[in-house]
Amino acid sequence: MTDKPFSQACENNKRPILEVLEQAFATRKHVLEIGSGTGQHAVFLSANLPHLLWQTSDQAEYHAGIQAWLDEENVLNCKSPITLKIGEQAIPDKLYDGIFTANTAHIMQRDEVKLMMKQVSNVLPPRGVFCQYGPFTENGEFSSQSNADFHASLLERGCGGYRDISELTQWAPSLTLESIYRMPANNLCLVWTK
């Protein structure tokens, strides 16, 4: 049996994220989560949004941890992870009417984020919703010194680092950025609709 991976950040941000998704996903039915990570968001958010069918996904090495959370919480509307690494697998077309991702765009390489925005933009049906949580820059500006420092440390580790909202907008031609929610710890939740 796999020990459950644990992220304190997920514990801290899951309730504020739920408040956004309660509105944004109110009329959605089938949601894909890109980069489920530990699986903590998936079990909490799906349990609190029981009208949704929630599909977890990530690179294969994360699956055992995600499954450990699913097994323990046994949330009936949360499904075992599929393998999805943007750049290696394509997001399934026309299957999901909502897509959620948290804290992935600053980890991915720039080209992967570009591809994610393009694919999300293509696969969502009309009125589909994409909720994207994490740290971003706006007009090239960091919202805090700690965010600027974190970005520099990500680049040192070989991650792509923070993306600017203007880049994301450019890469998602058929999405409209409906709302920008200001979240705790200088994070944002971007709500896009098709």
Ligand X SMILES: C[S@@+](CC[C@H](N)C(=O)[O-])C[C@H]1O[C@@H](n2cnc3c(N)ncnc32)[C@H](O)[C@@H]1O
Position 120 contacts ligand X (CB under 6 A): no
Residues in binding contact with ligand X, number by CB under 6 A: 21
For the record, the structure tokens of 83 come out as: 């393998």
Position 85 contacts ligand X (CB under 6 A): yes
When the beta carbons of 62 and 127 are compared against ligand X, the nearer one is 62
Position 96 contacts ligand X (CB under 6 A): no
Residue with the CB atom nearest ligand X in the bound state: 37
Which residue, 9, 62, 54, 65, is CA-closest to 29? 54
Distance of CA 96 to the CA centre of its chain: 14
Task: Tell me which stretch binds ligand X (CB under 6 A): 103-111, 120-128, 163-171, 180-188.
Answer: 103-111
Interface ranges with ligand X (CB under 6 A): 7, 10, 34-38, 41, 58-59, 62, 84-87, 102-104, 107-108, 112
